Amino acid sequence: MKFSLDFALSVVPVILSGLFTTLWITVAACVGASVLGFTFEILRRSNRWLGYVMRFLIDVIRSTPVLVQLYFLYFVMPFYGVTLSAVMAGVLGLSVYYSGYLAEVFKGGIDSIDTGQFEAGKALGLTRMDVVLRIVAPQMLRNVVAPMGNYFVSALKATPYLAVIAVPEMLGIALEVGANSFRYAEPMIAVGIIFLILAVGINQLVRLLEKKMLASSAR
């Protein structure tokens, strides 16, 4: 069976019907992972014992396959009374998985902030929360745009894992097209190209943001 360009073009709109799902899951997972990762890292720093607990948690998250985490959320949790929809489990799974990596990124970003910044905030009588959100977070973000962007692209490329729990994202749709037509080359190539375009787009956006941040920190 030869590769048919006509068939390839005809499956693109079908696959693109999953684009929205892929995109919003990516965005939700990135936001979730950032918030979770930042919270983990701040808690890790807050005191010694909580620090050990968070360190362990971050290491567990980073050291288990994302598929295991997804299966756990979707197939195991219901036995303990927590039933999540496929999409919810997917977003939560990717959020948790990437939160471990982002916590490490944030650690580096916070370590590179001068301790005088924390002290100045403290000396002014700001609460811990205000020091974290108003002084640490904005300065940290300047340091971590590039590595954060990498993980965002990685999260986009991890959305096809959700096909295994039947989330209607692009790879799942492409597989379905393949199964129905017995032609896999066209849908796989199409879905690959769509992901490529999205990933390049995110990378460009991150680079732009990085440039802007560099310009503002040069002030």
Q: Which residues bind other proteins (CB under 8 A)?
A: 114, 116-117, 119-128, 130, 134-135, 138-139, 142, 216-219
Distance CA 74, CA 87 (A): 10
Q: With respect to other proteins, which residue has the nearer C-beta, 139 or 154?
A: 139
Q: With respect to other proteins, which residue has the nearer C-beta, 6 or 114?
A: 114
CA distance from start to end of the chain: 61
The minimum distance between CB 43 and other proteins, in angstroms, equals 19
The minimum distance between CB 118 and other proteins, in angstroms, equals 9
Q: With respect to other proteins, which residue has the nearer C-beta, 5 or 123?
A: 123
Single-letter amino acid, residue 148: M
Q: With respect to other proteins, which residue has the nearer C-beta, 142 or 157?
A: 142
The minimum distance between CB 35 and other proteins, in angstroms, equals 20
The sign of the dihedral angle between the CA atoms of 29, 30, 31, 36 is: positive
Q: What is the DSSP string of 147-196?
A: HHHHHHHHHHHHGGGGGGGT---HHHHHHHHHHHHT--HHHHHHHHHHHH
The minimum distance between CB 114 and other proteins, in angstroms, equals 7
